[in-house]
Amino acid sequence: DGGITQSPKYLFRKEGQNVTLSCEQNLNHDAMYWYRQDPGQGLRLIYYSQIVNDFQKGDIAEGYSVSREKKESFPLTVTSAQKNPTAFYLCASSIRQYSGNTIYFGEGSWLTVV
């Protein structure tokens, strides 16, 4: 089945550590996105990518980094510079950015700082 796979589902990070969240899609979508959701809040955009080898900062990119070396993969690294990383992270994709097509979401990853 086509879809977006995020891993791990749950991740614990120690202070000062970098962690990487995986996002893989087999929908042949050009555009991919990372969102952060805090409890009781909407989603805020961290980074997005319109095409392979290109990505742009979203509204809250500080303390995060991404890469887009393959069309199907868009991993997110939460660095030690991110002071409050505990949140629910959602990866999404769409055929193209601004196309107005449905944007599909993965199942999400819970990150907790211990």
Partner 1 sequence: ELKVEQNPLFLSMQEGKNYTIYCNYSTTSDRLYWYRQDPGKSLESLFVLLSNGAVKQEGRLMASLDTKARLSTLHITAAVHDLSATYFCAVLNYGGSQGNLIFGKGTKLSVKP
Q: How far is residue 61's CA from residue 87's CA, in Å, rounded to a whole number?
A: 14
Distance, in Å, from the CA atom of 75 to the CA atom of 18, rounded to the nearest integer, reads 13
Which residue in the set 2, 42, 69, 83 belongs to the binding site for partner 1 (CB under 8 A)?
42
Is 45 near partner 1 (CB under 8 A)? yes
Site string for partner 1, 80-99 (x = CB under 8 A): ----------x------xx-
Question: In terms of CB distance, is 7 or 101 closer to partner 1?
Answer: 101
Footprint of partner 1 on 50-79 (CB under 8 A): 56-59
The three-state secondary structure class of 60 is coil
Rounded Cα gap, residues 57 and 99, in angstroms: 19
Minimum distance, C-beta of residue 113 to partner 1, in the bound complex (Å): 19
Give residue 73's identity as a one-letter amino acid code. Answer: S
